[in-house]
């Protein structure tokens, strides 16, 4: 079945990687093992391939995974999985140094967001890092078919789950409307280290 995200990737793309990933590599003494949940077609983890020991990238859009695969070149340290993020626990993926959850949390059902954060925390090793980027609840109601299912989560709720972690970075960026996000909205971005 074609999802709204399959249609999205057939017609457009997110473009450049998020700037945070240019310095995040300096947080690790050794080559990190990276999990990218809701990876899309790979813009955030493709640039990390040379510095990663392994990247595991998961998305529920088959088209996104196919496009990511098509952009891999000869890289042999990337495992792509077409799966629902909520099944992560059943995949027995082991432990990661860095977990990216960029743009996914607000797409998960409202009742599952906190347990999902705890799930990725459980997949993070000692001194490991989580990146959480999500659309904030303070924004106006969403309007397009792509955003109809959004269950936005405020930063304060994410923060509750990271009380025992070190916050390395946090900001909130307000966006002007775009074609696929027609309402003005904001995104909160945070980086946490497990103590």
Ligand X SMILES: C[S@@+](CC[C@H](N)C(=O)[O-])C[C@H]1O[C@@H](n2cnc3c(N)ncnc32)[C@H](O)[C@@H]1O
Nearer to ligand X, 122 or 127 (CB): 122
Nearer to ligand X, 103 or 142 (CB): 103
* Positions that interact with ligand X (CB under 6 A): 5, 14, 38-40, 43-44, 58-61, 64, 84-86, 102-104, 107-108
- DSSP secondary structure string, 79-126? EEEES-GGGGGGG----EEEEEEES-GGGS-GGGHHHHHHHHHHTEEE
CB of 60 to ligand X, least distance (A): 4
CB of 38 to ligand X, least distance (A): 3
Q: Which helix (H) or strand (E) holds 192?
A: strand 185-194
CB of 64 to ligand X, least distance (A): 5
CB of 79 to ligand X, least distance (A): 15
Tokens representing residue 136 in the block: 């904030």
Nearer to ligand X, 115 or 166 (CB): 115
Nearer to ligand X, 81 or 195 (CB): 81
Question: At CA 97, angle to CA 124 and CA 187, rounded to 5?
Answer: 75
Cβ neighbours of 120 (radius 10 Å): 22
């Amino acid at each position: 079945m074609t999802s709204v995200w399959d249609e999205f990737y057939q017609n457009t793309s997110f473009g450049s990687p998020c700037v945070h990933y240019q310095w995040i590599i300096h947080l690790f003494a050794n080559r990190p093992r990276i999990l990218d949940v809701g990876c899309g077609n790979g813009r955030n983890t493709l640039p990390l391939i040379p510095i990663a020991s392994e990247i595991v990238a998961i998305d529920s859009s088959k088209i996104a995974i196919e496009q990511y695969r098509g952009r891999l070149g000869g890289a042999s340290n990337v495992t792509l999985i077409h799966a629902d993020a909520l099944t992560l626990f059943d995949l027995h993926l082991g432990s990661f140094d860095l977990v990216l959850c960029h743009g996914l949390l607000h797409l998960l059902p409202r009742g599952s967001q906190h347990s999902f954060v705890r799930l990725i925390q459980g997949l993070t090793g000692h001194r490991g890092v989580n990146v959480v980027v999500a659309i904030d609840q303070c924004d106006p109601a969403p309007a397009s078919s792509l955003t109809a299912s959004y269950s936005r989560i405020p930063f304060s709720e994410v923060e509750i789950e990271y009380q025992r972690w070190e916050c390395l970075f946090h900001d909130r960026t307000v966006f002007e409307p775009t074609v696929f996000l027609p309402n003005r909205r904001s995104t909160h971005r945070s980086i946490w280290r497990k103590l």
